[in-house]
Amino acid sequence: MGIDFHNKNNQTTYTTRHADHSWVEAIKKLIPAKNIAKAADVGCGGGIYTKVLADMGVPSVIGVDFSQAMLVGAKENCKEYSNITFKQGDASDTGLNNNSYQLVLERALIHHIQDLKTCFQEAYRILENKGVYIIQDRTTEDCLLKGDDYHIRGYFFERFPRLIKQEINRRHSSELVVETLKESGFSDIQEVKLWETRNVYDQKEQLLKDLQERTGRSILHELDDNEIHELVDYIDKSISTDSSIVEKDRWTIWKAVK
């Protein structure tokens, strides 16, 4: 089934969340925002992290996404930011100028891309010399950790094992990412593991509602409505608390320098 990123009904599914301070602190350790004058958020979706880059002090940020519907939601989400602009483009053809950015961010993007080298070469093209490339995505190992009160995603695959194949097929290994970055001309490659707080729920019912609506979770679009009900019921019974749930996702971040 999958999520249709071009469907206007989905244009706000990635605008309602807020980036957690755990992400901000991880990025600050990798790259001082004060040294960044221009940044590009490629595959920006609803503009959540585009907005955070601006909040971190980057004077000029542009968000690029292939979906016009997503960009409509992103523009609304960031309408109060005069230093943020958006344009339609593809990760392999952003339409941005050569050697123009000190930072390129691609968060939760590369699992949608088969041709990593073309994507990485495009980032290399638009970065200034010594510019920094930040890629954040999940490896298969990140995704398939056991479910618990924090790692809710793990329950998806426990209840519907067929999703494991889907996840394996769309995830790239860290070894491949690092090798392709080197082939694309990048150096000083660093890998960091991050448990990023996805959301904090005062009550379990809030989490279950979030799951029911598939909010910001593309993998759940592989399930039909009946299966979603089954999953929500399974998670309801599996979680040990009815209140104060801090949901975290495990990610891998790769930093590379042009």
Report in angstroms the alpha-carbon separations of 232 from 75, 149, 151, 218: 32, 14, 14, 16
Each residue of 129-142: pLDDT tens digit?
Answer: 999 999 999 999 99
In a domain, residue 2? The reply is no
pLDDT at 17: 56
CATH number at residue 216: 3.40.50.150
Whether residue 3 is contained in a domain is answered as: no
38 occurs within a structural domain: yes
The verdict on residue 1 lying in a domain is no
Q: Tens digits of per-residue pLDDT, 76-105? A: 999 999 999 999 999 999 999 999 999 999
**Total structural domains within the chain:** 1
Pairing of strands 38-42, 60-65: parallel
> Which tens digit of pLDDT belongs to each residue from 169-218?
999 999 999 999 999 999 999 999 999 999 999 999 999 999 999 987 88
- Residue 231 in any domain: the answer is yes
Weakest mean pLDDT among 49-53, 88-92, 213-217, 253-257: 213-217
Instruction: Write down the mean pLDDT value for the chain.
Output: 91
In this prediction, residue 173 carries a pLDDT of 95
Q: What is the pLDDT of residues 147-173, one digit of tens each?
A: 999 999 999 999 999 999 989 999 999
pTM strictly above 0.75: yes
Range scoring the smallest mean pLDDT among 4-13, 36-45, 98-107, 183-192 = 4-13
Q: What is the mean pLDDT of residues 13-38?
A: 79
Q: Is residue 196 part of a domain?
A: yes
Task: Give the amino acid at 210.
Answer: D
Q: Does 28 reside within a domain?
A: yes
Q: What is the pLDDT of residue 35?
A: 81
Q: Over 50: is that where the pLDDT of 15 sits?
A: no
| Rounded Cα gap, residues 97 and 85, in angstroms | 15
Nearest to 215 by CA among 19, 10, 45, 43: 10
Residue 218: its pLDDT value, please? 83
pLDDT band at 20 (very low <50, low <70, confident <90, very high): confident
- Asked whether residue 13 carries a pLDDT value surpassing 70, the answer given is no
Distance CA 87, CA 63 (A): 6
Average confidence (pLDDT) over 208-230:
92
Q: Tell me phi and psi for residue 15, to 5 degrees.
A: -115, -10
Containing structural domain, residue 103: 8-257
